Amino acid sequence: MWTASDPTTGVTVTADPTTGLTVVADPTTGVTVTADPTTGMTVAADPTTGAVIVADAAGGLYGSDPTSGTSWAADPTTGAVVAADAAGGFMVADPSTGTTWGADATSGSLYAADPSGNVYAADPTTGAMVAADPSGNVYGADPTTGTSWVADPTGAVYASDALGGFFAADPNSGTMWASDATTGVVWAADPSGAYYAADPSTGITSVSDPSTGYVYSVDPRTGSVYAADPVSGMTWQVS
What are the tens digits of pLDDT across the range 221-236? Answer: 999 999 999 999 999 9
What are the tens digits of pLDDT across the range 114-160? Answer: 999 999 999 998 999 999 999 999 999 999 999 999 999 999 999 99
Which region, left, alpha or beta, applies to residue 12 given φ > 0 means left and ψ of -120 to 50 means alpha? beta
> Does position 106 have pLDDT exceeding 90, yes or no?
no
Q: What b/e sequence results for 104-142 when a residue is b if at least 16 CB atoms lie within 10 Å of its CB, and e otherwise? A: beeeebebbbeeeebbebbbeeeebbbbbeeeeeebbbb
CA dist list (Å): 92 to 71, 78, 119: 12, 12, 14
pLDDT of residue 113: 96
Q: Percent of the chain scored above 70 by pLDDT?
A: 100
d(CA 142, CA 129): 7
Q: pLDDT-based confidence at 25, cuts 50/70/90?
A: very high
d(CA 6, CA 111): 49
pLDDT of residue 107: 87
